[in-house]
Amino acid sequence: MGVITILSDSKSLLLASSTWLLLLSTCVLALMVYFVSHSIYNLYLHPLAAFPGPWYAVISNVFFSRTLVGGKSVKIIRDLHEKYGEVVRLAPDELSFSSAAAWKDIYTQRKSGNQFLKDEKFYITNNTVRAPHLVNMSDPVKHAQAKKIMSHAFSPKSLSEQEDIVRKYADMFMVAIKEESDKGPIDLNDCYNWITFDILGELAFSEPFGSLEARKTHPWVATTLNMVTFVAYNSAIYRISPKLTKSLLYFVPKSVAKGRMNHVLQSKAKILARLDRKTEKKDFSSYIFQVREEMGLTDWELSAYSNSLIIAGSETSATTLSALTHWLCKTPLVYSKLKDEVRSRFESSSEITSQSATFPYLTAVIHETLRIFPPFPFGPPRITPLGGETVAGVFVPEGTTVSVHMWSSTRNPKNFKDPDAFRPERWLDPNSTDDFSGSNPFLLGPRACIGQNMAWMELRILIAKMVFLFDFETFDKETDWGNDVDSLLLWQKPKLMTEVTARNVS
């Protein structure tokens, strides 16, 4: 009897195992059939099937998602444009453009009235990642309402008041550079972060972050890249499956997640502390509080507004200053010409203002820096409206994610001759064949950077004072800023170790 029972149990177990194995095999086969059929559809039957692109990008979102968080997406996408042309299919439902004409078609108001709205895959806002604010808000009506209020912070009157603050901190910065460089070579990347974040701290919260005084980077600054990297992971995972974003922390490196949370908490604490001070001074926060009253912002949304302004107005300026320094030292003739222009106009650095520093060559150098190393090298994605629209002479079906890849556009030889060469003269040549509409570092249209005039003021003053007061020489001239520098939405800049020598001027 016992033997019969054992045999019976073994038979039952074998039958159960066979059933599970059959079920598992069926599931695997079903998934394979789904993947193959889905891939065939995306390759040959999809509305975007006629657009060129690598097959491995076309069949699913996995390739582009991995590219976003791999750090090399800037170079990869440019390489794809060089291979396939000015429009490339990067994912099943996504097209990237590099032509100058595409900028206007995608980002400005169209005569037809159709709008290319922001793509939620990139601008997704939720309580676990980020709240809606001026930069990521997709609703055009709410965006226009918020922008109208915030625009007062960047009016001509406000800019005049802000210049006094910028000049004060610029002079403090020059003292810091002199004292630190007397000790030996310095990393100008860190130094530029000191000044840009302190200026924005004063303009946004009526108090600096204290970086210039402490001569070290504020903890909030140190977590900025963590915050942006977290957003990149969120966008990448959302592209594969929106449901996976609920488990986002399982995919993000722990150091990034921790840095992002610290950044969020510091942002909230900073804006709420400013709210409690109730000063009459008109800073950026006072306008954010007005947005809060008129649009009913939560504390979370309030901190998101201030956080976005700080990142957009400081990290990008610091990146431009670093890139400009790198390219000046890498192209001695350009540096020499800029020194001659600046130093021949002033007898003292106190004479340098945003108005007095509007020299042609200095302006061209800034333009060329923003072209060859745009602080934000990607193009903000948009969705084509109902009925589809024409972009750069090509009809694009409705519901397609489209963007102009900033880096590919500014390095496109059809837009700029010798695109990899740092040649400020191109911006001064009346006979130039370059298409300057291919470079839009501040974007254009209703979503253009609201603070670009302030950025230009800051750059003119800081660059003119640096060139007037110091000679500088970077150690690393071999690194190709772009192909050799990683980017996760923002650049992961290498160190900029520099020998700085003060001139005998004041």
CB 412 within 8 A of CB 79: no
Distance CA 491, CA 320 (A): 11
Beta-bridge partner residues of 501: 471
Distance between CA atoms of residues 181 and 380, nearest Å: 39
Give the DSSP H or E segment for 395.
strand 394-396
- Provide the residue count of the chain: 506
Tell the burial category of 500 from Cβ atoms under 10 Å away from its Cβ (0-12, 13-18, 19+). buried
Q: Is the dihedral of CA 210, 211, 215, 219 positive or negative?
A: positive
161-176 b/e (C-beta count within 10 Å ≥ 16 → b): ebbebbbebbebbbeb
Helix H or strand E encompassing 288: helix 284-295
The CA-based dihedral angle spanning residues 301, 303, 307, 308, taken in that order and rounded to the nearest 10 degrees: 20
Contact assessment for residue 94 and residue 382, using Cβ atoms and an 8 Å cutoff: no
Give the burial string for 85-95 (b: 16+ CB within 10 Å, else e): ebbbbbbbbbb
The closest of 117, 87, 104 to 395, measured between CA atoms, is 87
User: 426, 334 in Cβ contact below 8 A?
Assistant: no
Cβ pair 496, 188 in contact under 8 A: yes
Tokens matching residue 428: 């001064």
Determine whether the annotation assigns residue 449 to a binding site. Answer: yes
The H or E element containing residue 389 is strand 389-391
Q: In angstroms, rounded to a whole number, what is the distance separating the alpha carbons of residues 455 and 379? A: 19
Instruction: For 117-177, give the DSSP string.
Output: EEPHHHH--BTTTB---TTT---HHHHHHHHHHHGGGGSHHHHHHHHHHHHHHHHHHHHHH
3-class DSSP assignment, residue 54: coil
**Binding-site residue positions for heme:** 449
**Binding-site residue positions:** 449
